[in-house]
Amino acid sequence: TQLLEQSPQFLSIQEGENLTVYCNSSSVFSSLQWYRQEPGEGPVLLVTVVTGGEVKKLKRLTFQFGDARKDSSLHITAAQPGDTGLYLCAGDRRNYGGSQGNLIFGKGTKLSVKP
């Protein structure tokens, strides 16, 4: 079974704090995507990482893809209440036995940033 383990499951922090969310697997992925989902809405793509060791920055968000393309992390600096939401990682197994465009989703990290 191809699994993506996300941790932590829940995170409640104060505004201004830093945090890191982890996404780990024993499987290799062609690429890995991070999404943010608000209650009652669909996931919104934040970033796609493709190359092992790749680091991408999106304002206060830093995404890293592991060298072996099995894990990824999302780091948020100086979190704000607007960052509150469900963060999902999803791995693309397309070139490693997955069907076309088959994303494997982690269970998500529910982040709450209090003012």
Partner 1 sequence: GAVVSQHPSRVICKSGTSVKIECRSLDFQATTMFWYRQFPKQSLMLMATSNEGSKATYEQGVEKDKFLINHASLTLSTLTVTSAHPEDSSFYICSAQAGDRGRYDEQFFGPGTRLTVL
Which parts of this chain interact with partner 1 (CB under 8 A)? Answer: 30-31, 33, 35, 40-45, 48, 50, 88, 92, 99-103, 105-108, 110
- Minimum CB–partner distance for residue 111 and partner 1 (Å): 14
- Minimum CB–partner distance for residue 16 and partner 1 (Å): 27
- Minimum CB–partner distance for residue 52 and partner 1 (Å): 14
Q: How far apart are CA 53 and CA 45, in angstroms?
A: 20
Chain-centre distance for alpha carbon 58 = 13
CB-based burial of residue 107 (10 Å sphere; 0-12 exposed, 13-18 middle, 19+ buried)?
Answer: middle
Task: Select 22 or 105, whichever has its Cβ closest to partner 1.
Answer: 105
Task: Select 18 or 51, whichever has its Cβ closest to partner 1.
Answer: 51
Task: Select 42 or 115, whichever has its Cβ closest to partner 1.
Answer: 42
DSSP 30: S
- Minimum CB–partner distance for residue 35 and partner 1 (Å): 8
CA distances from 106 to 39, 56, 69, 102 (A): 17, 20, 15, 13
